[in-house]
Structure 1
Amino acid sequence: MARIGILILAAGASTRLGQPKQLLFYQGKPLIRQMAEVAIASNCQPVGVVLGAHAEAIKPHLSNLDIHIFYNENWSRGMASSIQCGLREMLRVSVELDAIVLMVCDQPFVSPDLIHKLIAGYRDLNYPIVASEYAGILGVPALFHKTFFPELLTLQGDVGAKSIIRQHHSHSLSIPFNQGIIDLDTPQDLQFLS
């Protein structure tokens, strides 16, 4: 069986929202814990969470979970630094990692079922990149085979994995995830949590 890990990117400062989005309550718990529990329920191992801004406030909400917490000292440089930090640490935790699923902490409607569909596209249909499709774009959650790890490790600035998906569009499978368009960036977005 291929060893597939999950990396949750949760290091941002949530400046547009005005409060740490990781700690917004959803289904009776902080969003970051909800996302970690979804990752665990997918049965992928290992599960890693990258923290940065507000790490001390967030970390207690991840206690007693079978996950690895990584701290990105360079979180203010953007998403790419969190992908690099998290992927390097995941490869230390599990040198035999065959693929990784990248998630962000502010897509509240990600489910274990969606993650299973990404994995099925990889295992059953042999696609090296399997991405979620919403609003006409391919994005996260997305699975990347280890052949793309070097590219993920060279991303710069506030560039996420979407750029790699775009570059390798012909090798990418899309999984419909209409609710993926809902992420929590501004106070107006909070209506989707109610």
Structure 2
Amino acid sequence: MGELPEKPVFSFVGAGGKTTCVLKLADELAGLGMKVLVTTSTHIQHPFYLGRTGLLDADTKTIKEAGVPGKVVIAGRKLEQEKKIAGLLETQLEEVLESYDAVVIEADGAKHYPFKVPAEHEPVIYQITTHILIVESMQAFNHPLSEVCFRLEKAQEILNQADFREKQLTPEIVAKLLEKGYLEKLTGSLSNPKRKIGVIFNQQDSQTFEEKLSVPVIYEKKLEMPEKKKFFLIMLASGFSRRFGGNKLIYSMEKMPMYQILMEKLDWVRQHSEHVAGVCVVSQYERIRKSAEEYGFLAVDNSDSSQGISASIKKGIRAVHKENVKGECYCFVVADQPHLKQETILRLLEGFQRSEKGIGAVVWNEQIGNPVIFHEKYREELLELEGDTGGKRVLKRHLEDVYLCEAEEKTELKDYDYKPEEEAEK
């Protein structure tokens, strides 16, 4: 695709993995220290269901200020259909462009089909686009068009064959549909001599299309299915609250004890995530353990609480760990973080599930907080912790293996060392 211009704007079209490609490219650009904006000219999955936060219905000033080196910002407009968002208007995108180093746009829809031929009004390419990448999934390869192709009627027009519905999707048919469906349009009515155009064959590592297509070809090799992770939510509730002037975990906030606020949220997360294998509460306090049992959680007595937080971590891991079970992940939640949103915990779990990382954490403006997730490959390191040293020590050793989930508000990361009225006076 050649060298990138000063402000590249990538538009992804086609089917079969566009959103994954959009986010992968955005993360790679952010990894280079760039300020990256993600949006759509049609619709894209809601950031919540992508395990990310987003700026929805935000004004231009807010979107501009959100641009930070090394960060991906997803911006768009709310829709009644809660699992999708619309994109920024082209005029608004042009206004905010000056605050970003790169923009990645999902510019087409395919209703989850692995292959697509566009209609007359598709794709929706903004004028500022510098690169167009056509994505097609080769999971559709050697399947009947009727099963795998979106806009089947457009494929029929191009192929002009009576029995086209049962035609197998061969390399020759793929090339013809791409040339006639996308490339003639993108080099004709939607052409811009300065734009670069390429094709990404997703889930593909064996077929050769270079000689069949008139544009560069990129292969995203077929990957092994990612490991399905099983999350154990472990709530740490054993602190002595020495600076608080009493047991802060039973301090009433929002008309219930602080610890119960977190229990309510963990119960909600358990009901909304198929990946949660169990919830465990580690506490030296009988009242808290009894409450945990009422929620159906595993309650673990921490008789070694005087040894510091490391004792709570070890007891939690040992309580939930099962031999010969792969994919265990331990998500530690602290009981004195009442403003943490249940939706943020869920986004952390869902995003970490899709990531290839071994550690996950909630973050606000580069400040890493709780909850923190550790894959079982870090179990032994966690079990070696001593004293009042928590899992952050393990996290800092492996920063290259950390997935970060942005909190929606700064207060979500706040824990209480002092009573709220004393905090306000400080």
Shorter-chain TM-score: which interval? 0.7 to 0.9
Flag structure 1 segments of 5+ consecutive residues without an equivalent: none
Match of 1:28 among 241, 250, 255: 255
Q: Which residue is equivalent to 1:112?
A: 342
CA distance in 1, matches of 2:324, 2:237: 20
Compare the two structures and name the one with the higher helix fraction. 1
* CA distance in 2 between partners of 1:39 and 1:136 (Å): 25
Partner of 1:151: 381
Contact 1:135 1:181 in 2 (8 A): no
CA contact (8 A) 2:235 2:334 kept: yes
Residue 65 of structure 1 is aligned with which of 276, 295, 307? Answer: 295
Cα deviations by residue, 1:65-100 (Å, 9 ceiling, x for unpaired): 110110111101110111011111111599566111
Q: Shift of the alpha carbon at 1:136?
A: 3.7
Q: Is the CA contact (8 Å cut-off) linking 2:289 and 2:301 kept in structure 1?
A: no
Contact 2:329 2:373 survives alignment (8 Å):
yes
State the match for 1:187 in structure 2.
Answer: 419
The equivalent residue for 1:87 is: 317
Counterpart Cα distance in 2 of 1:94 and 1:18:
45
Following TM superposition, by how much is the alpha carbon of 1:37 offset from its aligned partner in structure 2, in angstroms?
1.7
TM-score, normalised relative to structure 1: 0.88
3-state SS, counterpart of residue 15 of structure 1: coil
Aligned partners of 1:97 and 1:59: how far apart in 2? 27
TM-score (norm 2): 0.42
Of the three residues 138, 146, 153, the one matched with 2:368 is 138
Partner residue, 1:74 = 304
Structure 2: which 5+ runs fail to align?
1-227, 271-275
Residue 6 of structure 1 aligns to a residue in which SS?
A: strand
- Which of 278, 287, 298 lines up with 1:46 in the alignment? 278
Distance 1:48 1:190, change over 3 A: farther
The counterpart of 1:123, out of the listed 333, 349, 353, is 353
CA contact (8 A) 1:131 1:138 kept: yes
Q: 2 CA distance for matches of 1:70 and 1:12?
A: 14
Report the more deviating stretch, 111-120 or 149-158.
111-120
Do the aligned partners of residues 135 and 183 (structure 1) sit closer, same or farther apart at CA in structure 2, a change above 3 Å counting?
farther
Mapping of residues 150-169 of structure 1, within 5 Å: 150-169=380-399
Higher RCO (CA 8 Å, separation ≥ 6 residues): 1
Q: Secondary structure at the match of 1:45?
A: strand
| Aligned residue type for 2:341 | S
- What is the CA–CA distance in structure 1 between the aligned matches of 2:355 and 2:325, rounded to whole Å? 24
Aligned-pair distance for 1:117? 1.6
Deviation at 1:101, TM superposition (A): 0.7
Larger Cα-atom Rg = 2
d(CA) in 1 for partners of 2:369 and 2:288?
A: 25
Identity %: 24
8 Å Cα contact 1:184-1:190 kept in structure 2: no
Paired residues, what number?
A: 190
The answer to whether the aligner puts 1:12 opposite 2:239 as a matched pair is yes
- Find the aligned partners of 2:283 and 2:290 in 1 and give their Cα distance: 12
Q: Cα 1:9–1:184, aligned 2, differ >3 Å: closer, same or farther?
A: same
The answer as to whether partners of 1:140 and 1:162 remain within 8 angstroms in 2 is: no
**CA distance, structure 2, for counterparts of residue 62 and residue 26 of structure 1:** 18
RMSD: 2.3
SS of aligned partner of 1:76: helix
